[in-house]
Structure 1
Amino acid sequence: MGNLLTQSSTSGKNQLEVAIKCAEAAAQIIRLRILDTFERDSKIKLGLTTKNGWNDRVTEVDGEAEKAIIEILESEYPEHGIIAEESGVQGSISSPFQWYIDPIDGTRNFASGLPHTCVSVGLWQKHAPILGVLIDPIRNETFTAVNGGGAKVNGIDVFASEEGNLSEALLGFDMGYNPEQGNFLLTAINELWPQFQSVRMMGSAALGITYSGCARLDLYAHHYVQPWDIAAAIIFVQEAGGLVTDLNGEKIHPHSGHILAGSPAIHKVFMNSTADSKWRKSVKNAD
């Protein structure tokens, strides 16, 4: 935790305080925009308006929330690099400190009015995660993790599932945007069923991974993720005592492209059970 405590920002805040400030600024923009939508027209139902209208709306909110985060980071840590979903690489790409930010993870959920989305802010130093902060603006939940400091939800320590029996496990997945891999995933789930208790499609990789770190899910897997989707959630699972790797069981990093996280025991069983699936093989071939 030394890096966290010694790396003060221009205002004197430590890195966790800055990350929380960033995530809360974006979360507040999301909350106000949702309230504003209902106040302007009580007939508007999230997800039931015209597609173009909501696509435009989401793009506007994404951009506004991301801008708020970047402005804070550029002010507090002008020498750091930033990798953002909407605006790409900002600041110093050569800096050992890189911030990964996703202003709205679960954009499709947000556009459809499904209350399952989050702001994600993660900081890595070279190849090691320093901290992760995720805020669910709808449920008012703040997920934080610091290297060596454990994982917390609203300040309360949480831990990954210790479930070891696949028949009792709740698994989380997401389809992604590759139809072939999505079909392979459904086939893999069908082949496993009914060996596990149940399955959930999350619509937010960041929350899915994070939920696997606080035992809301026993395991979460995704075959196509972006760096800003997973950078903050990785350390949350690790600090909660969970196991997080790529889908090949290799060491995870923000640019891995796929992820498997949760109970160490279920992780092992799942890896063995899906070793010959077309879904897992499609990931290996993509690598």
Structure 2
Amino acid sequence: MDLDHARAVAVDAARAAGALLLAGTGGAGGTVQVRSKGGSGDVVTDLDLASEKLLLERILTAFPSHAVIAEESGLLGASGGEWTWLVDPLDGTNNVAIGLPAYVVGLALCRAGRPMLGVVHDPVTGQTWSAIRGCGAVTASGVRLAAPYRPSPHGPLLAWTQGYTVSRDDATVRALKTALELGARRVLQLWAPLLSWAMLARGDIDGMVGYRAEAVDLPAGALIAREAGVEIRALDGGPFEEGIDGTADDRSFVAAHPHALPALLALIR
């Protein structure tokens, strides 16, 4: 498998989907059609579906033997194969629904459940970030990402994400959020976790905490951040793998620069 070729295909597909999304959210004569999805307050738009259609066509044309797990369409192809793509056509749908320009397109390619390639594209700024496992994370122009360590006496700037199935009265969520609010300078809840991962990889924020994160949008961002030098651990400080296997509980994590991670783990404990 030529992962450099796969990255080129994924980057081109993500940019094409991003152009579609940008045109659809630009107010050029139309409104975004929004409807509820599930019973947890999540929504889906016509742009999610159009972007996913484009991405699926690009990916399956280039790699017809690969399986795909897409946000809206679910599994396409046989499960359990060697290569599986994860497709998040619009990470930040709730933002788009209220007119907030904070959303990205995300793609990951996994081998036996383990992400080997991640791509995140921001249509609003035109920026694209990608990573191949073991080869580092880069911008579209090839500049290497390296998450900096910048301790602040006022506490870290953090991002929070949680899965849609997490209930409002979840005791663990309440305890984690209380600890973060007390110990952090700011806690961002962007409704677009892939964008948060990119911000962490760039050094815009100091850390990220996730609770039962969604499976489709976790691997691409986590791989990019890890390849930029970010360390990711389970909530108890144990090992964490950003794969597609396991349960929702396996997708709870703490991520930060290695020098900042001990203090962040201590904070949530």
1:101 is matched by which residue type in structure 2?
V
- In structure 1, what is the equivalent of residue 3 of structure 2? 4
Query: Structure 1 residues 251, 107: CA separation in 2 closer, same or farther (over 3 Å shift)?
Result: same
* Whole-Å separation in 1 of the counterparts to 2:195 and 2:57: 24
- Tell me, what secondary structure is at the counterpart of 2:35? helix
* Whole-Å separation in 2 of the counterparts to 1:79 and 1:175: 32
Shift of 1:123: 0.7
| 1:14-163 correspondence to structure 2 within 5 Å | 14-35=5-26, 38-40=27-29, 53-55=33-35, 58-155=44-141, 156-163=143-150
* Whole-Å separation in 2 of the counterparts to 1:180 and 1:105: 25
Q: Does 1:199 align with 2:187?
A: yes
Q: Give RMSD over aligned pairs.
A: 2.4
8 A Cα contact 2:180 2:187, kept in partner? no
List structure 1 runs of 4+ shifted beyond 6 angstroms: none
2:159 is matched by which residue type in structure 1?
G
Aligned residue among 233, 236, 257 for 1:263: 257
- Please give the TM-score of this superposition, normalised by the length of structure 2: 0.85
1:172 is matched by which residue type in structure 2?
A
Q: Does 1:222 align with 2:221?
A: no
Shift of 1:194: 4.6
Shift of 1:59: 2.5
* Whole-Å separation in 2 of the counterparts to 1:207 and 1:18: 21
Determine which structure has the larger helix proportion and give its number.
1
- Please give the TM-score of this superposition, normalised by the length of structure 1: 0.80
- In structure 2, what is the equivalent of residue 180 of structure 1? 169
Structure (1 or 2) with the larger CA radius of gyration:
1
8 A Cα contact 1:106 1:118, kept in partner? yes
* Whole-Å separation in 2 of the counterparts to 1:245 and 1:252: 8
Query: Structure 1 residues 191, 60: CA separation in 2 closer, same or farther (over 3 Å shift)?
Result: closer
- Tell me, what secondary structure is at the counterpart of 2:137? strand
1:260 is matched by which residue type in structure 2?
V
Query: Structure 1 residues 175, 131: CA separation in 2 closer, same or farther (over 3 Å shift)?
Result: closer
* Whole-Å separation in 2 of the counterparts to 1:143 and 1:180: 35
2:168 is matched by which residue type in structure 1?
P
- Tell me, what secondary structure is at the counterpart of 1:39? coil
2:46 is matched by which residue type in structure 1?
E
Shift of 1:259: 2.9
- Measured against aligned partners, the alpha-carbon deviations of 1:131-179 in whole angstroms (never above 9, x if no partner) come to 1111111111111111232212332222123245674421111355420
Query: Structure 1 residues 54, 196: CA separation in 2 closer, same or farther (over 3 Å shift)?
Result: same
How many residues are aligned here? Answer: 254
1:179 is matched by which residue type in structure 2?
R
- In structure 2, what is the equivalent of residue 279 of structure 1? none
Q: Does 1:190 align with 2:189?
A: no
Shift of 1:260: 2.2
8 A Cα contact 1:252 1:259, kept in partner? no
Which consecutive residues of structure 2, in runs of 5 or more, have no partner in the other structure?
37-42, 245-249
Q: Percent identity?
A: 25
Shift of 1:70: 0.8
Which consecutive residues of structure 1, in runs of 5 or more, have no partner in the other structure?
6-13, 47-52, 276-287
Shift of 1:185: 3.5
Judge which range, 66-75 or 245-254, deviates more. Answer: 245-254
* Whole-Å separation in 2 of the counterparts to 1:186 and 1:114: 26
2:255 is matched by which residue type in structure 1?
A
- Tell me, what secondary structure is at the counterpart of 1:180? coil
Judge which range, 84-93 or 196-205, deviates more. Answer: 196-205
